[in-house]
Amino acid sequence: MSATLLSAWENTVSAAPDAVALIDATTGRTWTRGELDANGRAWRDAHGAGLARQTVVLPAPNGAEWWRVFLGLLHADAVIAPLDPGEPLAAQRATAAAIRAAWLWRDDGLEQVAPRPTRARDERRLLKLTSGSTGTPRALAFTDAQMLADGRQICAGMGIRGDDINLGLIPLGHSYGLGNLVVPLLAQGTAMVAGVAALPQAIADAAIRWRPTVFPAVPALLRALTLAEIAASQLASLRTVISAGAPLAPEIAAAYHDRFGGRIHSFYGSSETGGITYDRSGEAALTGRSVGTPLPGVQLTPGHAGSIVIASAAVFTIGNRTPGAHRPKDRVAFTPEGEVVLLGRAGRTVKIAGRRLDLAEVERALRALPGVRDAWVAPHAGRAESLAAVVASDEVGETLRAALRERIAAWKIPKRIVTLAALPLTARGKTDTARLRVLLDR
């Protein structure tokens, strides 16, 4: 019989029930594997009757309650749809209705969404919720085997061990959190620290007290660490620091290395595929040359015009026209060493004065300028056939425009450049393009 998330967890618990599994950085409370599992079983006994194969939306924040409900749902044989906890209740209900979930988790219990709950008839265990560019929730169905494959490929590629401790700031319900935090605990007992505020001093305090060894992060958090008054000794326990969710500027990787002596490892993945590539040495992040090489078990096949097909045991199959393989909208190139270079998203071509232009080309030119940490380019809202940009930099827009004149043709240079300390991010650590569009429309 194939392993499931629950059977993998039960094996992990039985191997060392008294091993620490979860640490609450706010209260100092720790939970062993056995205690976490008992909490999950208690939740199942109180709320799980009749939930078998029904979809339950879980918008709990990182911490003991998330694990209590998640494990309870596994024990109840439910289909789990983790959701960002920052969504307003009305949005949570709308998402639950859109994906035809039966129930929505609330602090005081379960709220029934569907008057006549249906039961999944296939092997789906978890729904990753992604809105894409439309804002409409889309549910990608994954099986136990696919989730386990993703976590195991990530652990093998990144060298994450059962005796490691993860610093768990990224959302547990996002694909990044599921692969790097949730499955490693379920399948091999990798403990995690939860409840840490996304602030440099809070991160440093947690690192000193709890000695985490692995830190899955996003560029904005890592940049904040490099700018804070933190001694290198405060982060000395961190052996592996990972950056994903948005492009990592080489400036951030270099600043981190100079301040703390360690290297940041770029990580590329998607909701549809889980982890894809990883910069094992951290050298690629320092120069921005690539996002590393494929993780173990991941096969990449180049396609037309920079497209790529990703195949692995972690790629979703239910509802996938090509089960086990996915062609993302990202365009890539390969270095002679087999590293993957991200070139931008397909479908971002515009016409400027009758000439076609890929917006990613202008973004790359901006990011290559000294002092630029990130950039986002879009058509100018008030000026036909012109561009506008939001740039994370301490330089003023006109200085950046002047620097661009030495790198790209004049017609490609944005007519308007808004500068910020950092680009706004969603709760999942991705660039918040909706907020950027509002900013440029002002």
**What is the pLDDT averaged over residues 353-358?**
74
**What is the pLDDT averaged over residues 278-298?**
96
**What is the pLDDT averaged over residues 130-156?**
86
pLDDT score recorded for residue 280: 97
pLDDT score recorded for residue 88: 87
**What is the pLDDT averaged over residues 56-85?**
96
Residue type, 390: V
Listed in sequence order, the residues at least 6 apart from 256 whose beta carbon sits closer than 8 Å to its beta carbon are: 222, 225, 226, 241, 262, 263, 264
Rounded Cα gap, residues 372 and 395, in angstroms: 8
| Residue 295, φ and ψ in degrees, nearest 5 | -70, 160
The pLDDT confidence band at residue 345, using thresholds 50, 70 and 90, is confident
Least confident of 66-70, 135-139, 236-240: 135-139
pLDDT 10s digits, 295-344: 999 999 998 888 999 999 999 999 999 999 999 988 899 999 999 999 87
Instruction: Give the distance from CA 233 to its chain's centroid.
Output: 27
Q: Does residue 442 surpass a pLDDT of 60? A: yes
Q: What is the mean pLDDT of the chain?
A: 92
Rounded Cα gap, residues 192 and 148, in angstroms: 18
Rounded Cα gap, residues 14 and 56, in angstroms: 27
Least confident of 85-89, 144-148, 194-198, 242-246: 85-89
Rounded Cα gap, residues 160 and 193, in angstroms: 15
Share of the chain above pLDDT 90, in %: 76
Between these two residues, 382 and 25, which has the higher pLDDT value?
A: 25
pLDDT score recorded for residue 131: 62
Q: Does residue 366 surpass a pLDDT of 60? A: yes
CATH assignment, 1-297: 3.40.50.12780
Q: Spell out the domain ranges in the chain.
A: 1-297, 349-441
Q: Does residue 213 surpass a pLDDT of 90? A: yes
pLDDT score recorded for residue 133: 44
3-state SS class at 399: helix
The pLDDT confidence band at residue 150, using thresholds 50, 70 and 90, is very high
The pLDDT confidence band at residue 134, using thresholds 50, 70 and 90, is very low
pLDDT score recorded for residue 337: 92
Q: Does residue 16 surpass a pLDDT of 80? A: yes
pLDDT score recorded for residue 356: 75
The pLDDT confidence band at residue 410, using thresholds 50, 70 and 90, is confident
Least confident of 143-157, 201-215, 366-380: 366-380
Superfamily of domain 349-441: ANL, C-terminal domain (3.30.300.30)
Listed in sequence order, the residues at least 6 apart from 410 whose beta carbon sits closer than 8 Å to its beta carbon are: none
Question: Any idea of the CA torsion for 20, 24, 29, 35, to the nearest 10 degrees?
Answer: -50
**What is the pLDDT averaged over residues 138-157?**
97
What is the DSSP pairing of strand 372-379 with strand 387-393? antiparallel
pLDDT score recorded for residue 426: 76
Enter the tokens of residue 102. 């039966």
pLDDT 10s digits, 155-206: 999 999 999 999 999 999 999 999 999 999 999 999 999 999 999 999 999 9
